[in-house]
Amino acid sequence: MNRGCRVLVAMSGGVDSSVAACLLHEQGHDVVGVFMRLGAHEPEEYSPELVGDSCSPRPAGTLDIASQRQGQAPAATVTGGTPVPPDGRGLSLPVRAATDAVPSDRHRGCCSAIDATDARAVAGRLGIPFYALNFEEDFGRLKRYFADEYAVARTPNPCVMCNQWLKFGRLIEYADAIGADMIATGHYARLAHTGESVRMFRATDAAKDQSYVLFGVDPSILRRTRFPLGELTKSEVRAHARRFDLPVHDKPESQDICFVPDRDYARVVRRLRGDAFTTGVVRHVDGRELARHDGLPNFTIGQRRGLGVAVGEPVYVASLDPQTGEVVVGPQASILSNTAHASRVSWLHGAPTDAFRALVRIRYNHETAPARVEPLPDSQVRVTFDEPQWAVTPGQALVIYDNDEVLGGGWIDHR
């Protein structure tokens, strides 16, 4: 990336994205910060006009892409700023002038009001323009996907889908609108750019690697993306935050799905798909009926706690049947599988035609496992592991690696 490029940086208010913005600014790039307002926290009072900072060289604003796409808001300019150019498809993106608002003191994971305030403060220290992008309507699609998957006995991965559907696609739209050359985030992954080609690799810090949740980002977007933290460890990032004297240098990380900060997934599903909660049988793999349950969304493959059964030995959820509503439980051996079948597979560099050896990850906190990957028609793959794997779960992403390089991935249908 040439020195002095204009870079749009997604700033979530956490230490990672804040340091990413600071490093790019330090390198001499023209950095523009954006906070993605997703509407993740329904109970929390928050105005999207919250962002803005008197330290910024130009006032911050709020971009309402959802309303703009529906033609509901006229194009405008930020007071003291410049008109927002068209996005290249005949649509100009309106910006509303920002006003101050009183932030909430509740931090409920990412995307909250306090996160917006933290991101604004970092942008103010850097003296860079800063905007909030309003994606609440788009985010509703992600919540519906989450509930719909649980309703058919699949365990979704909304972080992967958020990157694939929303974050990177919308970021590149806004980058085009403001004439930015690149976009950047605080993700821990590495990209290697060679001309028009790009390859993605696992991060240097294996404990923080996020390449798993990025496999579905379109390569055309990755070509214009930078991950400044890919070569750094978390401790090094925090050291940079202290060096930059950032107020978020010791901010704790959010470990939860942003719209389920209390981890009560069933509550969210019940609100959006109450019809999914029908009673059914809990059955042992040996055929015994053990109990009845009040809805498949209360369960996931491999689950041990909260099953409501006692058989004298530990049992785990082995399978879920959306047709019969049956939950099948069994001993640890019944959760192991040598195979996984995935569909909707996307490849970063073209689909292979022959079977090959690779490393495969079947969930975010799963260590990659050696396997044989067999491409199938209609963007599917069959994976055969060298050793049985724990809880191959329908709905989760299956990501394929060549050592550290991401080759592609898809969505598990069955084992």
Is 159 an annotated catalytic residue?
no
How far is residue 252 from each of residues 110, 187, 231, measured CA to CA in Å? 11, 16, 21
CATH of domain 278-330: 2.30.30.280
Specify the pLDDT at position 63.
42
Give domain 6-243's CATH superfamily. HUPs (3.40.50.620)
Q: Where are the domains of the chain?
A: 6-243, 278-330, 336-414
Cβ neighbours, 10 Å, residue 306: 10
**Angle at the Cα of 13 from the Cα atoms of 206 and 95, rounded to 5 degrees:** 125
Which residue from 259, 209, 214 is spatially nearest to 109, judged by alpha carbons? Answer: 259
Which of the residues 22, 110, 111, 258 is marked catalytic? 258
Q: What is the pLDDT along the chain (415 residues), one digit of tens a residue?
A: 767 789 999 998 889 999 999 999 999 999 999 998 775 544 333 333 333 332 233 333 434 333 333 333 222 222 222 223 323 222 222 222 222 233 333 344 455 668 888 889 999 999 999 998 888 777 888 889 999 999 999 999 988 888 888 889 889 999 999 999 999 999 999 999 988 889 999 999 999 999 999 999 999 999 999 999 999 999 999 999 999 999 888 777 766 677 776 777 888 888 889 888 999 999 999 999 999 999 999 999 999 988 888 888 899 999 999 999 999 999 999 999 999 999 999 999 889 999 999 999 999 888 999 999 999 999 999 999 999 999 999 999 999 999 999 999 999 999 9
Cα 300 from Cα 370, distance rounded (Å): 24
- Which is it for strands 289-293 and 280-284: parallel, antiparallel or unpaired? antiparallel
Structure tokens at 93: 């993106």
Instruction: State residue 371 phi and psi, 5-degree precision.
Output: -160, 165
Cα 393 from Cα 175, distance rounded (Å): 36
Which of the residues 110, 111, 159, 162 is marked catalytic? 162
Is 258 an annotated catalytic residue?
yes
Cα 36 from Cα 50, distance rounded (Å): 12
Cα 369 from Cα 388, distance rounded (Å): 9
Specify the pLDDT at position 111.
59
Cβ-in-10-Å burial (0-12, 13-18, 19+) of 313 comes to exposed
CATH of domain 336-414: 2.40.30.10
Specify the pLDDT at position 256.
62
How far is residue 215 from each of residues 211, 340, 411, measured CA to CA in Å? 6, 18, 11
Q: Where are the alpha helices (DSSP H) in 35-135?
A: 65-69, 113-126
Specify the pLDDT at position 404.
96
